[in-house]
Structure 1
Amino acid sequence: MSTNEVALGAKAGGRQSAVSRERKAGMPKWLYGWVIPVIVLGLWEAASALGLVSQSALPAPSRIAEAFWKLCVNGDMAKHVSASAIRAGGGFLLGGATGLLLGVFTGLGKWAERTLDPSIQMLRTVPLLAVIPLFILWFGVGEFSKVLLIALGSFFPVYFHTHLGVRSADRKLYEVTRILQYSKLHLLTKLIIPAALPNILLGIRLSVGASWLLLAVAEMMGASAGVGYMIQDARVYGQTDIVFVGIILFALVGKLSDSLVRLVERRYLQWNNNYKG
């Protein structure tokens, strides 16, 4: 090996070690998402301490944290969160399961697609808030109407992306399954569902977000417990700090739900070369 080659190798090794040191010196990846929220909270707290904002309209983060802690201590937090989780979970499971089954059904059959899909696509364009008066007239303001409203909002993202995923499966793979003489069950479980899985999981992520969005609306139209009810009740009594607690709860639980779906994506989409994680 010549002297020049040794020098070039030493320089390359030095660059690699410098890059590795820079990576080690940098922040962990998960911290980058907290930079802007921390800065905003710091400026917000400073503005409140200096009297630049009204405490009744925009309470300081420390005051919101104090209200959060009081709700946790007296047990109201657990009551409201559990009631909301049951409603959102029930509505999501009902709407998501129905959307998945109908998406596969209309995606596989041309007759089903021509018959059902136009009507479903037409209903998808109707604003969900417009059907709330009908839900109240038909089902009252009880738990069933709330779960059904959440289910309706959860249905469309899962249905649309499942239908798209099934229809987008590679036709060459169908030819392979014919050669291998797959049964209809094996065709569904070994080809169609795996091929549509990226779209299905995307639909589930969107459906989870829609569930929490409609939960807030459903709980504000008549409830005795839940995060939406807590926000509405605090608004009536001018408790702005509790309103912010409810908003933060929706944000945290929504983000947690989305993160769980992303974990499922990482677990079951590693085979997909197009999946970026």
Structure 2
Amino acid sequence: MALLVGWHLLATSGGYSRAQLPPPYDVLLALRELLVRGELWQHLAISVQRVLLGFTAGSVAGLVLGALVGLSRAARSLVGPTIQAVRAIPSLAWVPLLLLWFGIGETPKITLVAIGAFFPVFTTVAAALRHVDPHLVEVGRAYGRSGVRLLGTVLLPAATPPVLAGLRLAMAQSWLFLVAAELIASSMGLGFLLIDSQNTGRTDVILLAIVLLAVLGKLADTLLGLLERRFLAAWT
């Protein structure tokens, strides 16, 4: 509420023109305009779809490779440094390469979101499995657990809290990478709405897209947080 009041006061103070910083009411009018034209739900639906597909693909890949690196010293030496180096590549740097590899369809967009989701999951899974309390492992082995049974009954339960935190971070990264993904020859989505509004000088629509991205990101994090608490309560 304080942010909304500050925004309104700043926009109506006379320091900025209405085209530079429209007040919140103008953004509500832009929302109404998109709803009347039937475009808003299309932008929202395609962006949510891209995030969910990319988040799922990136998280699965992060879980698998993270478990491999966390459990295997050889994999840690061979794969770990390379993945950490690739992690430093900015999201926009992937765009030309993905366009050359996959063209201008949905695949490069979803792949870029998956890249964003992959690294938080990979990092947390690898670190969590690597730092499981050795005493827990010894107790598990004393009860005859080894291999997959040790992983399922000792290692994964011990690593669950940080892994779930990594999934929440991956979801946040997915929304961040979505905007870059929708720069790739998009004609629909919130990222496209941002760029198209910049080209047409619609600051009100730009601010609306930013607010929608923030709201969707917060809703996704809240939902994952609720699922995390329920899962941990059931697990323990």
- Using the size of structure 1 for normalisation, the TM-score is 0.80
Q: Secondary structure at the match of 1:97?
A: helix
Equivalent positions of 1:211-250 (< 5 A) are 211-250=174-213
Q: 1:171-211, CA deviations, whole angstroms, 9 ceiling, x for partnerless residues?
A: 11111111111253332222111111122112112211111
Aligned length: 236
Q: Distance in 1 between matches of 2:95 and 2:37?
A: 33
Counterpart code for 2:124: H
Q: Secondary structure at the match of 2:182?
A: helix
Offset at 1:169? Answer: 0.6
1:259 aligns with 2:219: no
1:114 aligns with 2:77: yes
User: Which of the numbers 129, 145, 164 marks the counterpart of 1:182?
Assistant: 145
Q: Distance in 2 between matches of 1:118 and 1:48?
A: 48
Moved over 4 A (4+): 270-273
Aligned to 2:40: 77
Q: Distance in 2 between matches of 1:80 and 1:182?
A: 50
List runs of 5+ in structure 2 lacking aligned partners: none
Q: Distance in 1 between matches of 2:144 and 2:10?
A: 70
Q: Secondary structure at the match of 1:222?
A: coil
Aligned to 1:204: 167
Larger Rg: 1
Aligned to 1:126: 89
Equivalent positions of 1:1-277 (< 5 A) are 38-49=1-12, 51-270=14-233
Q: 1:15-61, CA deviations, whole angstroms, 9 ceiling, x for partnerless residues?
A: xxxxxxxxxxxxxxxxxxxxxxx123223324444544311010010
List runs of 5+ in structure 1 lacking aligned partners: 1-37
Alignment RMSD: 1.9
